[in-house]
Amino acid sequence: MTKKGLASFLDAPLARTLWNRRTKRVSRGSNVVAGSLSWQSQNERSSLSPLQEAILIAATGASGMTMPDRPLFDDESGDPIMSKPNLVMEGRTAGSPDNAQGTHFFMINDSGTYFLRRLDPMEGGTDNWTPEVLLDRAEQAKVRILDRRIDVPGDMRDFPAYLDSNRFLSNTPGSTIFFPVVDLSYQYINALMYLLTQPDKARPVIVDDRNFYQPAGVKKWIKSGFLNPDIKIPLGALGQMRTQIEADLLVQNLFLVTEALGLGGWIHAAISPPVIMGDPKFSDRYGKMLSFDYVTPKWRIMDLLRWHTLPIAAAKHLRAHAVGLRHHGEHLIKGKCPPYYPTMSDAVDAVIAGKFGPGGIYKDKALFERIYKGDFGDKYLDEAGEYEQDVINCARDICTYIHKVHGRFPAHCEAIHAPGVWLQTHRVENEYYDTFFENGLTATQRAHDQNWSS
Domains and CATH numbers, the chain: 3-452 (3.40.109.10)
| 239, pLDDT greater than 50 | yes
Q: What is the mean pLDDT of the chain?
A: 95
Q: Note whether 351 and 337 are within 8 A (CB).
A: no
Looking at residue 454, its pLDDT comes to 55
User: 334 forms bridges with which residues in the sheet?
Assistant: 324
| 128, pLDDT greater than 90 | no
Looking at residue 314, its pLDDT comes to 85
Looking at residue 124, its pLDDT comes to 82
Is it true that the peptide bond before 160 is cis, omega within 30 degrees of 0? yes
User: 89 forms bridges with which residues in the sheet?
Assistant: none
Q: Note whether 104 and 180 are within 8 A (CB).
A: yes
Give the pTM.
Answer: 0.95
The rounded distance, in Å, linking the Cα atoms of 412 and 408 is 9
The rounded distance, in Å, linking the Cα atoms of 204 and 394 is 11
Pick the residue with more confidence: 314 or 390? 390
Phi (first) and psi of residue 87, to 5 degrees? -90, -30
| 361, pLDDT greater than 90 | yes
Phi (first) and psi of residue 356, to 5 degrees? -120, 0
1 pLDDT band, cuts 50/70/90, is very low
Q: Note whether 103 and 180 are within 8 A (CB).
A: yes
Q: Note whether 87 and 132 are within 8 A (CB).
A: no
The rounded distance, in Å, linking the Cα atoms of 324 and 22 is 34
Residues with Cβ within 8 Å of residue 280, at least 6 apart in sequence: 294, 296, 317, 320
- SS3 letters for 219-243? HHHHHCCCCEEEEEEEHHHHCCCCC
Q: How far apart are the first and last CA of the chain?
A: 5
pLDDT digits (tens, 9 = 90+) for 429-442: 999 999 999 999 99
- The continuous run of DSSP H or E covering 289 comes out as none
Residues with Cβ within 8 Å of residue 393, at least 6 apart in sequence: none
pLDDT > 70: percent of the chain: 100
The rounded distance, in Å, linking the Cα atoms of 93 and 88 is 14
| 453, pLDDT greater than 70 | yes
According to DSSP, the β-strands at 103-109 and 112-116 are antiparallel
Looking at residue 126, its pLDDT comes to 87
Mean pLDDT of 144-166: 94
- Alpha carbon 255 to chain centroid, angstroms: 15
Is it true that the peptide bond before 234 is cis, omega within 30 degrees of 0? no
The rounded distance, in Å, linking the Cα atoms of 53 and 329 is 27
Mean pLDDT of 110-127: 92
Q: Note whether 188 and 321 are within 8 A (CB).
A: no
3 pLDDT band, cuts 50/70/90, is confident
The rounded distance, in Å, linking the Cα atoms of 204 and 224 is 13
Distances (CA, A) of 208 to 218, 233, 244, 401, 454: 11, 8, 21, 10, 61
- Alpha carbon 400 to chain centroid, angstroms: 25
DSSP string covering 293-352, please? EEE-PPP-TTHHHHT---SSGGGTTTT-EEEEEEETTEEEEE-SSTTSSSSHHHHHHHHH
